[in-house]
Chains A and B, each alone.
Chain A
Amino acid sequence: MEVRVQNIRKEFSRFPALEDVSLNIGSGELIALLGPSGSGKTTLLRLVAGLESPTEGTIFFGDQDASKKSVQERNIGFVFQHYALFRHMTVLDNVSFGLKVRPASRRPPAAEIRRRALDLLDLVQLSGLEKRYPAQLSGGQRQRVALARAMAVEPNVLLLDEPFGALDAQVRKELRKWLREIHDRTGHTTIFVTHDQEEALELADRVVVMSKGAIEQVGTPDEIYDHPVSPFVYGFIGQSNCLNVTLASGEIWFEDRPIGLRAANEPDGAATLYFRPHDVELIDGCGGCLAGLVTASRRVAGTRHLELDLGRGHPAIEIELPPERAASADHTRIAFRPTRWKLFRKAERPQAPSQSVDTQAHELVRVGA
């Protein structure tokens, strides 16, 4: 089902957690809400679920205004960060819970409930474990029970709060792939929250990058990585370098010389240059380039990472090169130029007041289970 979030604002005891957030989610999409702690991503998820109510704004499920509805009426499937499985119920009872608590008029017969729960356990590859209790399962298995339980009610939208946060790296990768398969098979509109960019970029159809209670950028993983629209996204997604530069008549200057990059149609003045470590080319003989002393060199699998000192208190720059190109680069001076880069003007984006978003404490409180 289509989900539309319109101008949502949410305050927790007068502290804004979300400011004027709008987001359209297509039917059947797999959406990641990505951001650091306190960016408001979990709050947004809980607002869609109906576990919180917005201070202002509306949430539509299809054409219906869902923001007036209670969490029960919204018919969503929510997977909690720590699963929140009912510990005194077997796996089967956990999965059938949502169907069993329905009023008699809408409740399927007991045999049907059992069959559907077993089907779902089959789907999440837990057949044969239906008589176990949650405490007898591994983390990954609990996660899958939680997902089966959420899907049992045939939800309008599936919401997952840090679904893989509590699992170790190996299991996390497996489940990630598996979740994608489940999604492709069942076609539920799915929103999941994560602070792990790799997870978001690998899994989602579209990624919503959030910071300080606002949406920074919405786009496909490619768009987000290749065309970040703000310094925050540039810095948060993947590796990036930033340099303070100046613009003068369409040329970019670093310190006292042009670096061979043109930015036509940009007014003169100070700016920040962003580029990724792998988007650079080495240059012989510097006629307009960046140059720095190699202070550290690390070989990481198929690439060599070089740390460069550009002098005068500038932050160290990291670049990545094919190993053969930088074999003997230690303690030498090398010249390079970004091949793909972006300029952001100073004070382009007004900083939100520092107190504006701090849902961290709020999130911590909920971790209890």
Chain B
Amino acid sequence: MSLDTGSASAALVRAATSETRLARSILIVVALGFVVLFLLLPLATVFIEALRKGPAEFVAALGDPETLSAILLTLTVAGIAVPLNLVFGVAAAWAIAKFEFKGKAFLTTLIDLPFSVSPVISGLVFVLLFGANSALGPILQSYGIKILFAVPGLVLATVFVTFPFVARELIPLMQEQGTSDEEAALSLGATGWQTFWHVTLPNIKWGLLYGVLLCNARAMGEFGAVSVVSGHIRGQTNTMPLQVEILYNEYNFVAAFAVAALLALLALLTLVLKTALELRYSDEIAASRRH
């Protein structure tokens, strides 16, 4: 009897993974091959090229004043664009997930627009809007306000491109959570602000963090839209991705790859940060999903 059940369960185990050892090996090799070919190799190349002439050259390339200014500009633009989109994303997700209003579907679609529009067009939009030949251009000029080929233009283009990240991350999460937690808080006498701060925000913080990290990664790495509005003024309106392009076109490979390596490091740092946070708070995340 016990033998019978033993063989039956063995048969079940075999049924669950019925592929032969060969098939499994092939699948694993193919998957690993893709990861190596399309992710690891390019990434490694960046670092190898950057360090080809030794760490001294690498540091020197990064110490170049124009490059330093590009790094600073990228951090500034991301530092403005990400908080803006954080506030906007939370507000939009809150409105869409928790309330019923006319034009909601339209707003949801509109939020996705930057995903579907080519980044070049995203940049061009601002040129057409604020450029010298536009309706607004002369007015802005008469007040001495510079938007294009200056930091405001870079921020606008970056905000536009990274617009959907936070909202997109939060909308499904907040819709799934429904409104009863908020209703419970209100029924207990909490004000709208208290409800948001003590109930809604803690419920969405992991989604929000993830959205912000993605938004930040894109804000720092954006090329197309920023390229159109930047004007490529060295040491003034070149962000890191633009600086990489300029250096590369000048055959200054070490410097180009050094900046690229720094960008890649920022991206890796983002991922590490996210994973570390997930590990650190894994219990809490699991609890908030289980409930």
B187 touching A51, Cβ below 8 Å: yes
A97/B187 contact (C-beta < 8 A), A366-B178, A368-B175 known: no
* Interface pairs (20), CB distance under 8 Å: A71-B186, A72-B189, A76-B187, A80-B183, A84-B181, A85-B184, A86-B185, A87-B291, A88-B202, A88-B288, A101-B191, A101-B198, A133-B287, A135-B288, A152-B188, A153-B189, A366-B180, A368-B175, A368-B180, A369-B180
The answer to whether A78 has its CB under 8 Å from any CB of chain B is yes
The answer to whether B267 has its CB under 8 Å from any CB of chain A is no
What 17 additional pairs, Cβ within 8 angstroms, besides A78-B183, A101-B191?
A49-B187, A51-B183, A72-B187, A72-B189, A77-B188, A84-B184, A86-B184, A86-B185, A87-B203, A97-B190, A101-B185, A133-B287, A135-B288, A153-B189, A368-B177, A368-B180, A369-B179
Contacts of A134 in B (CB 8 A): 291
Contacts of A149 in B (CB 8 A): 184, 188
Contacts of A369 in B (CB 8 A): 177-181
Interface centre among A75, A87, A97 (most CB of B within 10 A): A87
Query: Of A85, A101, A368, which contacts B189 at CB under 8 A?
Result: A101
A101/B194 contact (C-beta < 8 A), A87-B291, A88-B202, A368-B178 known: yes
A77/B187 contact (C-beta < 8 A), A101-B198, A368-B176 known: yes
Query: Of B184, B203, B288, which contacts A80 at CB under 8 A?
Result: B184
Interface residues of B in 275-291 (CB under 8 A from A): 284, 287-288, 290-291
CB nearest neighbor in A for B184 = A84
Contacts of A28 in B (CB 8 A): none
The answer to whether A102 has its CB under 8 Å from any CB of chain B is yes
CB nearest neighbor in B for A146 = B184
B188 touching A82, Cβ below 8 Å: no
Contacts of A152 in B (CB 8 A): 188
Interface residues of A in 48-99 (CB under 8 A from B): 49-51, 71-72, 75-78, 80-82, 84-88, 97-98
Interface residue ranges, A against B (CB under 8 Å):
49-51, 71-72, 75-78, 80-82, 84-88, 97-98, 101-102, 133-136, 149-150, 152-153, 365-369
Contacts of A71 in B (CB 8 A): 183, 186-187
Least distance between A30 CB and chain B CB atoms (Å): 19
B176 touching A101, Cβ below 8 Å: no
Complex: how many Å from CA A82 to CA B284?
Answer: 20
Contacts of B190 in A (CB 8 A): 72, 97-98, 101
Contacts of B187 in A (CB 8 A): 49-51, 71-72, 76-78, 150
Least distance between B121 CB and chain A CB atoms (Å): 37
Query: Of B177, B183, B191, B290, which contacts A135 at CB under 8 A?
Result: B290
CB nearest neighbor in B for A86 = B199
Complex: how many Å from CA A133 to CA B290?
Answer: 11
| Bitwise interface map of B from 163 to 187 toward A, beta carbon under 8 Å scored 1, else 0 | 0000000000001111111011111
Complex: how many Å from CA A294 to CA B284?
Answer: 61
A135/B291 contact (C-beta < 8 A), A72-B186, A101-B198 known: yes
Complex: how many Å from CA A98 to CA B287?
Answer: 23
Least distance between B230 CB and chain A CB atoms (Å): 43
Complex: how many Å from CA A84 to CA B187?
Answer: 11
A366 touching B179, Cβ below 8 Å: yes
Interface centre among A77, A85, A97 (most CB of B within 10 A): A97
Complex: how many Å from CA A75 to CA B81?
Answer: 42
Complex: how many Å from CA A71 to CA B179?
Answer: 14
Listed from nearest, the 10 A-B pairs whose CB atoms lie closest are: A368-B178, A98-B188, A84-B180, A84-B184, A78-B187, A369-B180, A135-B287, A101-B190, A87-B291, A88-B202
A86 touching B186, Cβ below 8 Å: no
CB nearest neighbor in A for B205 = A88
Contacts of B176 in A (CB 8 A): 368
Complex: how many Å from CA A133 to CA B184?
Answer: 17
A367 touching B291, Cβ below 8 Å: no
CB nearest neighbor in B for A93 = B198
A98 touching B178, Cβ below 8 Å: no
Least distance between A145 CB and chain B CB atoms (Å): 11
Interface residues of B in 204-250 (CB under 8 A from A): none
Least distance between B8 CB and chain A CB atoms (Å): 31
Complex: how many Å from CA A71 to CA B194?
Answer: 14
CB nearest neighbor in B for A79 = B184
Contacts of B183 in A (CB 8 A): 51, 71, 78, 80, 84
Interface centre among A82, A136, A366, A369 (most CB of B within 10 A): A369
Complex: how many Å from CA A87 to CA B184?
Answer: 12
Contacts of A153 in B (CB 8 A): 188-189
Least distance between A340 CB and chain B CB atoms (Å): 43
Contacts of A97 in B (CB 8 A): 185, 188, 190, 198
Contacts of B290 in A (CB 8 A): 135
B177 touching A88, Cβ below 8 Å: no
CB nearest neighbor in A for B189 = A72
Complex: how many Å from CA A97 to CA B189?
Answer: 9
Least distance between B157 CB and chain A CB atoms (Å): 37
Least distance between B42 CB and chain A CB atoms (Å): 40
Contacts of B181 in A (CB 8 A): 84, 86, 369
CB nearest neighbor in A for B291 = A87
CB nearest neighbor in A for B179 = A366
Complex: how many Å from CA A232 to CA B188?
Answer: 37
Interface centre among B189, B191, B203, B290 (most CB of A within 10 A): B189
B189 touching A78, Cβ below 8 Å: no
Contacts of A75 in B (CB 8 A): 189
CB nearest neighbor in A for B174 = A368
Contacts of A101 in B (CB 8 A): 185, 188-191, 194, 198
Query: Of B175, B186, B284, which contacts A88 at CB under 8 A?
Result: B284
